[in-house]
């Protein structure tokens, strides 16, 4: 069955939603400003990350890099370090590249035209719509996961939400909604839609009794909220295994920096290798670093990035003499010894940073 034409949402429902937002909007730090730079940072951080996680990161970021110029001129390592813990580091790199582009191309002023915003690295239709509407009050549509849920439920769209036809319709509806925002409060209206999805029209057990759209909502009144949105089965996760070597000498560790053109480029890590299965970790260490060394498993860190489930086993060598330590150092291209103090200034790959926090880098205490 084809998708019906766009159903206009009655104006009194739009007013009701905005009135609800005025009363119930969460007090989030980036909602206290109209600075497009600050809103840009919040939108990038909020991609794939929950609000409560983002708040302290956003506050620290804005304190350290309060302006576009401060970010553009910062050391890349400092930028990555501040992002550490949020994951998806290309977002941080794109923010800095974007800040540099704004200085070079737009005279340091955040652009307010849609096509100019879209020229910034990492800024797509959603982010440009969010910044354009929230910071500049332009009537620009946005469609994120929350808005998908609210609109598909309200209109009773049962077709797969990720299909091209439903996506097209959602952008059409969002465009109409943003343009029809009461009192021309375009940014507030977009935020109201997202807020409704985040706090009331939640994925499981939406609180329809508190929803300003309840009286006209097809999912709530007819189809059933558990049937919409229709989310296609997600791609099966892929498991990947790694083995890392914790080589330590007098409170210094042998680490290396990842090449810029690889995933997590510029980040630091212990020497690590991808393996076909978890059981062959010691054999791989023997192959890479010499078969005469015996390795003890310090612990395991599990880590998820998009559809990858990663398992990293951290092994430390049993007693090594000075000669063996030197030989190991020579086996690790670009390996460098770093102390505790230096380590705290280096941006670390997430799983290795987790291992450090779990004390897997340190020798267990003697009995
Ligand atoms: S009535 Fe329920 S399902 Fe419909 S939009 Fe509101 S919260 Fe969502």
3-state secondary structure of 366: coil
> Using CB atoms within 10 A of its CB, is residue 185 exposed (0-12), middle (13-18) or buried (19+)?
middle
- Would the pLDDT of 321 be above 90? no
- Residues in a beta bridge with 348: 268
**44-48, 61-65, 250-254: the lowest-pLDDT one:** 250-254
The verdict on the CB of residue 217 being under 6 Å from ligand 1 is: yes
| Model pLDDT, residue 185 | 96
Q: Encode pLDDT of 185-223 as tens digits.
A: 999 999 999 999 999 999 999 999 999 999 999 999 999
| Model pLDDT, residue 340 | 87
Average pLDDT over the chain reads 92
| Model pLDDT, residue 6 | 57
Q: Which long-range contacts (CB under 8 A, 24 or more apart) does 282-287 make?
A: 282/243, 282/315, 284/243, 285/243, 285/245, 285/315
- Mark whether 288 is an active-site residue: no
Residue 5 — very low, low, confident or very high, per pLDDT cuts 50/70/90?
Answer: very low
Q: Encode pLDDT of 112-162 as tens digits.
A: 999 999 999 999 999 999 999 999 999 999 999 999 999 999 999 999 998
Question: Ligand 1 centre and the CA of 77: distance in Å?
Answer: 44
Residue minimizing CA distance to atom 3 of ligand 1: 220
Question: Rounded to an integer, what distance in angstroms lies between the CA atom of residue 323 and that of residue 265?
Answer: 31
The verdict on the CB of residue 213 being under 6 Å from ligand 1 is: yes
- Which of 15, 43, 75, 366 is catalytic? The answer is 43
The verdict on the CB of residue 198 being under 6 Å from ligand 1 is: no
Contact 65, 71 (CB under 8 A): yes
**β-pair type (295-305, 308-317):** antiparallel
Q: Encode pLDDT of 55-111 as tens digits.
A: 999 999 999 999 999 999 999 999 999 999 898 888 999 999 999 999 999 999 999
Tracing tokens 């609180």 back to the chain, one arrives at 207
Question: Ligand 1 centre and the CA of 99: distance in Å?
Answer: 39
* Residues contacting 291, CB < 8 A, separation 6+: none
Residue minimizing CA distance to atom 8 of ligand 1: 201
Task: Work out which ligand 1 atom sits closest to the CA atom of 150.
Answer: 5
What domains are there in the chain, each with its CATH number? Answer: 11-223 (1.10.340.30), 238-357 (3.90.79.10)
Question: Ligand 1 centre and the CA of 194: distance in Å?
Answer: 13
The verdict on the CB of residue 200 being under 6 Å from ligand 1 is: yes
Q: Between 103 and 236, name the one with better pLDDT.
A: 103
Mutational pocket test of ligand 1: of 9, 155, 201, the residue with most ligand atoms within 8 Å of the beta carbon: 201
Contact 336, 314 (CB under 8 A): no
């Amino acid at each position: 069955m084809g998708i019906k034409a766009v159903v206009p949402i009655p104006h009194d429902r739009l007013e009701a939603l905005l009135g609800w937002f005025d009363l119930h909007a969460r007090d989030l730090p980036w909602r206290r400003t109209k600075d497009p730079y600050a809103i840009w940072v919040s939108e990038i951080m909020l991609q794939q990350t929950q609000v409560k996680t983002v708040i302290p990161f956003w506050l620290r970021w804005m304190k350290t890099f309060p302006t576009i110029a401060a970010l553009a001129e910062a050391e890349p390592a400092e930028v990555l370090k501040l992002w550490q813990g949020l994951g998806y580091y290309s977002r941080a790199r794109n923010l800095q590249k974007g800040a540099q582009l704004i200085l070079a191309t737009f005279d340091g002023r955040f652009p307010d035209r849609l096509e100019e915003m879209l020229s910034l690295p990492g800024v797509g239709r959603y982010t440009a719509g969010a910044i354009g509407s929230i910071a500049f009050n332009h009537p620009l549509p946005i469609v994120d996961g929350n808005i998908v849920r609210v609109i598909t439920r309200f209109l009773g769209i049962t077709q797969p939400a990720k299909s091209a036809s439903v996506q097209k319709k959602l952008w059409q509806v969002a465009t109409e909604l943003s343009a029809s925002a009461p009192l021309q409060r375009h940014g507030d209206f977009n935020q109201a839609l997202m807020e409704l999805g985040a706090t009331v029209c939640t994925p499981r057990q939406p609180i329809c009794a508190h929803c300003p759209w309840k009286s006209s909502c097809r999912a709530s009144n007819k189809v059933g909220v558990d049937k919409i949105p229709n989310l296609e089965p997600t791609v099966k996760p892929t498991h990947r295994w790694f083995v890392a070597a914790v080589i330590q000498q007098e409170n210094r560790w042998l680490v290396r920096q990842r090449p810029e053109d690889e995933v997590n480029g510029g980040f630091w890590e212990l020497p690590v290798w991808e393996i076909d299965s978890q059981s062959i970790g010691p054999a791989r260490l023997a192959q890479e670093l010499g078969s005469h060394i015996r390795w003890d498993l310090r612990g395991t860190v599990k880590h998820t990035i998009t559809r990858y489930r990663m398992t990293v086993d951290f092994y430390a060598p049993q007693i090594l003499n000075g000669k063996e330590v030197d030989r190991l150092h020579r086996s690790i291209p670009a390996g460098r010894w770093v102390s505790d103090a230096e380590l705290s200034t280096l941006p670390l790959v997430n799983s290795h940073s987790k291992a450090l926090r779990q004390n897997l880098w340190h020798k267990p205490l003697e009995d």
